[in-house]
């Protein structure tokens, strides 16, 4: 199948024009849409908008080449087998009546990042569009999306079935929403792609069309046939693709070198991601930091419990005891957190047969618990104290 090629300014010219190579840190350059020549594409109902980004292209304060470098380091296949995907749809609820009218793909080709956006100019041409997208995906089995596990991919899967096409499912599907949420939700209070793009990538969008307006714009286009109305949507989709690539790199970079991270992130969340990658020692370091940084007793206790579990998992029993004892010494507030820590410490001291010290910890914990009116801990600690007294007799 041959698809009409949309000529695009050479990337070099564009980079020069926008001064991308010399953009100062922290300042962003909006991704300008390549200008497809009028009427090109769309003759058979599908238009493809292509753009190429050299490795030196900066998105916000991130160099695309650097992002791709982090990705390549993580996944050996990055250059050949990976494709970033983002769709624009006629509805946000999903279901068979939701069309993916714009499918944006980004992948590495010939040493540059290529974006290809497949725009459905006529609904009847959907099978054609899907065929072309399916062909691209077939040779790139590692799919990367932002919320694609729940949204983009199920919709595309539905579209393929409706068009009686059954492409193979991606071999690997990395949904960036999970690491993004773990790393930055608690820090920035959001994990929407455009917000993270501003906070993490340093590329706030100007004149971006809000996502909820997009379905309406497309329906209006179907009625009027006015292609220009779609420009902002195409730009939005391409910005999402670039943001995704950049964010992907930032996620990997952050996890690779935690201390060198450019923006704040959630240590506890990072720890959880590292646990999933099997990096238990580094996860423990993250949780250790999370304990220190937690201001609320509840958060602190949750982080401490995760840390404690990591120590146990890695057999670092001595380190676990040390950490808990340090905690008892340093956290003096007579609150629920201290009750929990003392209770743990009492258990450890009991195991170490230091019964008097164990009784001291349990006794203090019981005193705080009963003062705070905590029913569960009070009962538990009373029993523990009774047992300790028995053992000491």
What residues line the site for other proteins (CB under 8 A)?
A: 90-97, 99, 122-124, 154, 157-158, 161-162, 215-216, 218-219, 222-223
Q: Which is nearer to other proteins, 53 or 218 (CB)?
A: 218
Smallest Cα–Cα separation from 89: which of 186, 174, 175, 214?
A: 214
Question: CA 82 to CA 136: how far, in whole Å?
Answer: 10
Closest by Cα among 321, 318, 104 to 193: 104
User: If we measure between CA atoms, which residue out of 199, 149, 186 comes closest to residue 169?
Assistant: 149
Nearer of residues 24 and 210 to other proteins, judged by Cβ:
210
Tell which phi-psi region holds residue 347, choosing left (phi > 0), alpha (psi between -120 and 50) or beta.
Answer: alpha
Min dist. Cβ of residue 236 to other proteins (A):
17
Residue 162: CB minimum distance to other proteins, A = 6
Which residue(s) pair with 102 in the sheet?
88, 119
Between the alpha carbon of residue 20 and those of residues 63, 69, 108, 262, the distances in Å are 10, 19, 19, 20
Our CB check for other proteins shows the closer of 161 and 379 to be 161
DSSP string computed for 269-334: HHHHHHHHTT-HHHHHHHHHHHHHH--SHHHHHHHHHHHHHHHHHTT-HHHHHHHHHHHHHH----
Residue whose CB is less far from other proteins, 158 or 382: 158
User: To the nearest whole angstrom, how small is the minimum distance from the Cβ of residue 64 to other proteins?
Assistant: 33
Whether residue 108 contacts residue 68, with contact meaning beta carbons closer than 8 Å, is answered with yes
118 or 218, CB closer to other proteins? 218
Q: Given the complex with other proteins, which of 211 and 297 has the nearer CB atom? A: 211
Report in angstroms how near the CB of residue 90 gets to other proteins at its nearest.
6
The phi, psi pair for 85, rounded to 5°, reads -135, 140
Toward other proteins, which CB reaches closer, 120 or 177?
Answer: 120
Q: What is the largest CA-CA distance in the chain?
A: 93
Q: How far is the CB of 124 from other proteins (least distance, A)?
A: 5
CB 341 within 8 A of CB 360: no
Q: Which CA distances in Å does 140 have to 35, 100, 137, 343?
A: 27, 20, 5, 53
Cβ contact 89:99 at 8 Å: yes
Taking the complex as a whole, the smallest distance from the CB of residue 168 to other proteins amounts, in Å, to: 15
Give 93 or 318: the residue with its C-beta nearer to other proteins. 93
């Amino acid at each position: 199948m041959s698809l009409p090629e949309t000529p695009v300014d050479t990337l070099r010219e564009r980079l020069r024009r926008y001064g991308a190579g010399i953009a100062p840190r922290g300042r962003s350059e909006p991704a300008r849409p390549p200008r497809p020549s009028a009427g090109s594409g769309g003759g058979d109902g599908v238009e493809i908008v292509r753009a190429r980004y050299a490795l030196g292209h900066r998105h916000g304060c991130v160099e695309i080449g650097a992002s791709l470098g982090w990705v390549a380091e993580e996944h050996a296949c990055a250059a050949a087998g990976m494709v970033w995907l983002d769709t624009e749809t006629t509805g946000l609820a999903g279901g068979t009546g939701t069309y993916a009218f714009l499918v944006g793909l980004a992948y590495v080709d010939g040493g540059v990042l290529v974006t290809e956006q497949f725009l459905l100019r006529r609904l009847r041409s959907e099978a054609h569009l899907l065929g072309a997208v399916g062909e691209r995906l077939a040779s790139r089995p590692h799919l990367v999306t932002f919320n694609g596990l729940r949204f983009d991919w199920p919709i595309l899967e539905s579209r393929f079935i409706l068009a009686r096409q059954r492409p193979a499912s991606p071999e690997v599907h990395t949904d960036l929403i999970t690491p993004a949420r773990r790393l930055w939700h608690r820090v920035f209070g959001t994990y929407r792609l455009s917000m993270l793009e501003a906070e993490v990538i340093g590329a706030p969008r100007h004149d971006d069309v809000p996502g909820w307006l997009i379905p309406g714009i497309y329906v209006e286009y179907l009625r009027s046939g006015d292609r220009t109305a779609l420009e902002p949507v195409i730009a939005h989709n391409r910005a999402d693709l670039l943001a995704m690539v950049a964010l992907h790199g930032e996620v990997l970079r952050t996890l690779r070198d935690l201390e060198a991270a450019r923006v704040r992130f959630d240590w506890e969340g990072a720890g959880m991601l590292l646990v999933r990658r099997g990096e238990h020692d580094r996860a423990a370091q993250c949780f250790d930091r999370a304990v220190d940084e937690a201001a609320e007793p509840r958060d602190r206790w949750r982080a401490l419990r995760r840390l404690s579990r990591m120590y146990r998992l890695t057999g670092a029993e001595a380190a676990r005891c040390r950490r808990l004892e340090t905690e008892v010494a340093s956290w003096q507030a007579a609150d629920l957190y201290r009750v929990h820590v003392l209770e743990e410490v009492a258990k450890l001291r009991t195991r170490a047969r230091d019964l008097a010290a164990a009784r001291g910890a349990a006794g203090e914990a019981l005193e705080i618990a009963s003062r705070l009116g905590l029913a569960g801990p009070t009962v538990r600690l009373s029993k523990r104290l009774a047992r300790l007294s028995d053992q000491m007799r």
